[in-house]
Structure 1
């Protein structure tokens, strides 16, 4: 449902920690990124469902030996906890309770801080949308395939790491075809000031919204669509970073 500009709720995020003897092995069989290559910087990644669509989108880093920190939209945190408990029931690791973590922008990059005093949600949202740093919320779980969101162009997918949830579908799309619809950065304006901001996961005709933020007399958004369908909604295409301008298909 489209939301009036003045009612759009800013995102909130939670962090949880996974640590233990089997933490790396377990995560390697769950997430899209190669866990052995993670470092101290947050890396966008995902856990997909068996249909190859993102069930949990998050950022992950290796905080210490056998310890990984995950940041996820707060409204998905409990579901992720339940997922980890279900699939990790026979693995040796522990998952901490989720705690608040705050979006901020440091050196021009969207990231997170443990200090609420650093929080700058609107700046984080604007910078994230402009750089393709999407965030999955409860309303958009299971809606998007990782390649549609250009996750592979952000280092968040590894096609050589072996099996993980949804890997068969994801690999088939990558090696044998390509998404027809994919991530774009767009703007919509209404000179009369009647524009409203669409919700995450909302469909505008054949265009599906990932995230959106209000601007004067309109909104900017990350959307998944075929390029030819953007004009139907009078959406102006803005430039994503160079790394996300490449073709989403596998390089030949």
Structure 2
């Protein structure tokens, strides 16, 4: 009897320990993304000739960030590419799936490939320092490093920069088991999730910014989105020339301040004569503590000189600019 009580007491303590640890895990629904499925006998070969990442490196244990560029070397769309069975799945920003399909379709005439929208029943974002306990019930091997992934017949788990994980549910039949495993989740990304992405320097291209930026401006050339060792793809010559021969005057920077950002915010640097033209904010999050964050393209020299920054039209809304450090610098291995 005494041994049984000791066992029950230990089990109770273990349950309390797991509950307390699981409280550090935050789970969010991510309904804002869109997906494009590419399949067919020539799917991988076709994508290799159209996108900036090296599709030869794609596997069920490795996802790839990438971009589609136009002939002038400007970014049409960015994406994360995962292999699910025999198909390739591209996750992109909201409003960009049809743009990707339309762009790629122009080059797919002579390839045995099919492009179509894919709508996963559920996409979850997982943030925190105790996701292993829950996720090992779904996958025998968890992604340990950025860009690693794990795939089953019904789900895809991807490790992202900033301590984030994404779980793509490919079959609605597993949704109830996910609800049982995670309990309730937030219906949209929370501030912590958005802040983790912004601090990681992740700037996505949406309908308003499509074909407006070069990869250099968005730091795609130093964050693993562009692979400079692969063969040709649309816009590759321009992108490579800018990287190897050009010296960028502007790059993506992290901005921090107490003033609230909006989707229409622009950041400006004070000059000695007159305010410079503001640059649009590409991503932002307003937080209750720790300062509000945003990503915007800015003049490299202005940041290095320590110039004062502010929100356009609000001279009192001062900002601090800082360079971004990336977890995945090279995409050439």
Q: Who is 2:263 aligned against?
A: 198
Q: Equivalent residue of 2:239, what SS? A: helix
- Asked whether 1:63 is paired with 2:136, we answer no
Q: Who is 2:286 aligned against?
A: 214
**Aligned mates of 1:203, 1:51 — CA distance in 2:** 26
How far apart are 1:110 and its partner, in Å?
Answer: 4.9
**Aligned mates of 1:239, 1:163 — CA distance in 2:** 30
What does 1:1-252 correspond to in 2, within 5 Å? 12-40=32-60, 41-65=62-86, 67-100=87-120, 102=123, 104-106=125-127, 108-114=163-169, 120-122=188-190, 123-190=192-259, 195-199=260-264, 204=268, 205-216=277-288, 219-227=292-300, 228=302, 231-233=308-310, 234-238=318-322, 240-241=324-325, 243=327
Q: Tell me, which stretches of 5 or more residues in structure 2 are unaligned? A: 1-29, 132-162, 170-174, 180-184, 269-276, 311-317
With a CA cutoff of 8 Å and minimum separation of 6, indicate the structure with the bigger relative contact order. 1
**Aligned mates of 1:242, 1:17 — CA distance in 2:** 28
What is the number of equivalent residue pairs in this alignment? Answer: 231
How far apart are 1:239 and its partner, in Å?
Answer: 6.2
Rg: which structure is higher? 2
Q: Equivalent residue of 2:79, what SS? A: strand
Asked if the contact 1:18–1:93 (Cα under 8 Å) also holds between the matched residues in 2, the reply is yes
Change (3 A) 1:133 1:196: closer
TM-score by length of 1: 0.79
Range 132-141 or range 230-239, more displaced? 230-239
How far apart are 1:112 and its partner, in Å?
Answer: 4.6
Change (3 A) 1:11 1:206: farther
- Cα deviations by residue, 1:73-114 (Å, 9 ceiling, x for unpaired): 121111212222222122101123231553513452153533
How far apart are 1:187 and its partner, in Å?
Answer: 1.1
Asked if the contact 2:309–2:320 (Cα under 8 Å) also holds between the matched residues in 1, the reply is no
How far apart are 1:208 and its partner, in Å?
Answer: 3.5
Change (3 A) 1:242 1:76: closer
Change (3 A) 1:46 1:103: farther
**Aligned mates of 1:20, 1:72 — CA distance in 2:** 20
Q: Equivalent residue of 1:52, what SS? A: coil
Range 175-184 or range 152-161, more displaced? 152-161
Asked if the contact 1:105–1:111 (Cα under 8 Å) also holds between the matched residues in 2, the reply is yes
TM-score by length of 2: 0.61
